[in-house]
Amino acid sequence: MLRGTRVGLRDRHEDDIPVLRAELYNDVVNAARAEGGPWRPVTAKDPRLAVDNPPDNLAPFSVVELDGGTLIGTANLWGIDTHNRNAHIGIGLLPAARGKGYGTDVVATLCHYGFVVRGLQRLQIETLADNEGMIRAAERNGFVREGVLRSSAWVLGEFMDEVVLGLVAGEWEGVGVG
Ligand SMILES: CC(C)(COP(=O)(O)OP(=O)(O)OC[C@H]1O[C@@H](n2cnc3c(N)ncnc32)[C@H](O)[C@@H]1OP(=O)(O)O)[C@@H](O)C(=O)NCCC(=O)NCCS
C-alpha cells in the first residue's frame, strides 16, 4: 500500500465494488462530469470497478483512510507512457469524503508513485474548468495550469472548457523546499 499523510492507496477489494458502483459510478452527474464520456449504467464487472487484470498503462487504486481503513474512493495513474515517461492522474472520492483535504493528499501520493516508484518525468491532470476542488488539489502539489481546452467537454447539455495542469519531476522535488 502507498501511504500519504491521511490516505492509503491500495489494491481493489471485492467489497469495494458495490460501494464504488453505487456512490460514484452510478451517480450520473458525477460520472458525466468526471469521466469524459457518456454515462451508461455500470455493471459490477465494469473494468473501472473490477480491476483484476489492468493493462500495463493503468495503475488503479482504491483510496482508504489510513486511520481505520474506510474506503473513500478511487485513484488512477492512467495513460502511462513508458517512452515519453508521462501519465495522467484521475481521482474520484465518495461524496462524504470530499472537501476534507483527502484529494490533495491523494494527488501527493500519486505524485510519489509516478515520480519515485515509476520514474516518470511528467504528470498531467485534465479537469472541467469549474472543478475548483480538483484544480486546487493539483495546484497545492505544484501543478501548473498549462492551458484551457475551450468547449472541449460535452457535459449534461452544454459544452464546457477543460483545464490542463502539468507537473514535471524537477518541479515536484522543489515543492516545499523553498
Ligand atoms: C475533485 C476532488 C478529487 C477534490 O478532492 P477533495 O478532497 O474534495 O479536495 P480537498 O479537500 O483536498 O480540497 C482542495 C482545495 O480545494 C478547495 N475545494 C474543495 N472542494 C471545493 C469546491 N467544491 N469548491 C471550491 N473549492 C473547493 C478546498 O478548500 C481546498 O482549498 P485549499 O487548498 O485552498 O485549502 C474530489 O472532490 C472528488 O473526487 N470530486 C468528485 C469527482 C471529481 O470531480 N473528480 C475529478 C475529475 S477530473
What per-residue confidence (pLDDT) applies to 178? 33
User: What is the rounded CA–CA span in Å between residue 148 and residue 135?
Assistant: 12
Name which residue sits closest to atom 3 of ligand 1, judged by CA: 103
With a Cβ cut-off of 6 Å, ligand 1 is lined by 30, 34, 91-93, 98-104, 127, 131-134, 136-137, 140
Number of domains the chain is built from:
1
- Residue 92 Cα to ligand 1 midpoint, Å, equals 10
> Ligand 1, residues 48, 76, 78, 91: which to mutate, most atoms within 8 A of Cβ?
91
Smallest CA separation from ligand 1 atom 14, residue: 137
Distances (CA, A) of 95 to 16, 25, 91, 100, 171: 15, 12, 12, 11, 31
Span 42-61, mean pLDDT?
A: 93
Residue-level pLDDT at 176 = 42
| pLDDT for residue 160 is more than 70 | yes
Task: Tell how far the Cα of 103 is from the centroid of ligand 1, in angstroms.
Answer: 6
Nearest CA owner, ligand 1 atom 33: 136
Average pLDDT over residues 63-76: 98
Task: Name the more confident of 173 and 158.
Answer: 158
Q: Look at residue 175 and tell me whether its pLDDT is greater than 80.
A: no
- Show the domain range for 144: 2-174
pLDDT value for 51: 87
Mean pLDDT of the chain: 95
Res 174 pLDDT > 60: no
Whether this prediction's pTM lies above 0.85 is answered by yes
Q: Please give the pLDDT value at position 2.
A: 97
Residue 152 pLDDT exceeds 80: yes
* CATH number (domain holding residue 108): 3.40.630.30
